[in-house]
Amino acid sequence: MNKIPEHVAIILDGNGRWARSKGMPRNYGHTMGAKNVETICRACHNMGIRYLTVYAFSTENWTRPDDEVKAIMKLLRHYLKTCFTLARDNDMCVKVLGDISRLDEDMRETILRLEEETKDYGGLHFQIALNYGSRDEMLRAVRSLVADRESGKITGEIDEQVFVSYLDTKGIPDPDLLIRTSGEQRLSNFLLWQCAYTEFYFTDVHWPAFDEKELEKAVKSYGERNRRYGGI
C-alpha cells in the first residue's frame, strides 16, 4: 500500500442501526462499537498510521433518551479503564478532546490519569472526542484567548498559529483522512476547523462491522487522491 495518511479521524456512526438490523437493542450496538475501537486502534498501529481520532460522543448526543445516554456513559467509563492496557500493549498516547467538565468526577479523574500515564508513548497518538462539538471547542478557545489577552499572557497579533494553540487538538496535525461509517455524509459538528483540507471517505458499512479490511479500503482510496490545497 502506498501513501499512508498520517492522521485518520473517524465518525463512529451506525451502532444503533447495526444492532437493529440484527434484531438487537441499540445499546448492544454501542457495546460492539466500543469493542471495534480496539480492533481499529491495533489495525492503525500495524498500518503505520501515526494519529487516530475517534468521535465517540458529541455535545448534541445528550439529547438522546436518558437510558441510552446512561448506557453509553457506562460503556465509556469501562472503555477508559481498559484503555490503560490497550495503550501499554500498543504504545499508544491517549488524549481526550472535548469539554470533560460535564462528565462525572470519576470519569474525569480516569481521563486525567490515562493522559498522564500514556503521554510518553509514541507509537500511535489516539484521541477520543467525548462531549466534543467543534463549535463548542472554538468558543472555548476564543474565551481563553480573550482571557489570556486581557491578563497580558499573550500580546501581539492573533494569527492561525496562536488560535490553533487554544484548540483541544493543540499539537496534533490536521486529519489527512476523515472516515464516516453508516452512510450519512455530514460532519455533525466534528473538527470543523481542522478538516479544512481533509479528504473525506464515506461508507455504508455500520461502525461495529467496520473492520481492518474496510480501513484498508479507505486508506487505498486516500492513496488515489490528488490533494491540491488550492494550488494547481
DSSP code of 175?
A: P
The site that binds Mg ion (CB under 5 A) totals a number of residues, namely 1
Nine-digit cell string for 167: 484548540
Provide the grid cell at 166.
487554544
Residue 99: CB minimum distance to ligand IPE, A: 14
36 is a catalytic site residue: no
- 55: partner contacted, choices ligand IPE, Mg ion, none (Cβ within 5-8 A by kind): ligand IPE
Is 220 in contact with 1 (CB distance < 8 Å)? yes
Neighbour order of strands in the sheet with 7-11: 92-97, 124-132, 51-58, 7-11, 177-180, 199-202
Q: Which of 4, 10, 5 minimizes the C-alpha distance to 210? A: 10
CB 63, min distance to Mg ion, A: 12
Spatial CB neighbours of 229, under 8 Å, sequence gap ≥ 6: 197
By CB under 5 A, residue 12 contacts Mg ion = no
Shortest Cβ 33–ligand IPE spacing (Å):
6
Is 13 considered catalytic here? yes
Kindly tell me which of 16 and 175 has the beta carbon lying closer to ligand IPE: 16
Q: In 119-170, which ranges are continuous DSSP H helix?
A: 134-150, 160-164
Of the residues 2, 27, 61, 174, which is catalytic? 61
Q: Do β-strands 199-202 and 92-97 pair in parallel, antiparallel, or remain unpaired? A: unpaired
Rule CB under 6 A: say whether 137 interacts with ligand IPE: no
Please count the residues of this chain forming the interface with ligand IPE, following the rule CB under 6 A. 17
Residue 174 touches Mg ion, criterion: CB under 5 A: no
Interface with ligand IPE by CB under 6 A: which residues? 11-17, 55-58, 61, 72, 182, 184, 186, 188
Residues with catalytic annotation? 13, 61
Question: What does the binding site for Mg ion look like in residue numbers (CB under 5 A)?
Answer: 13
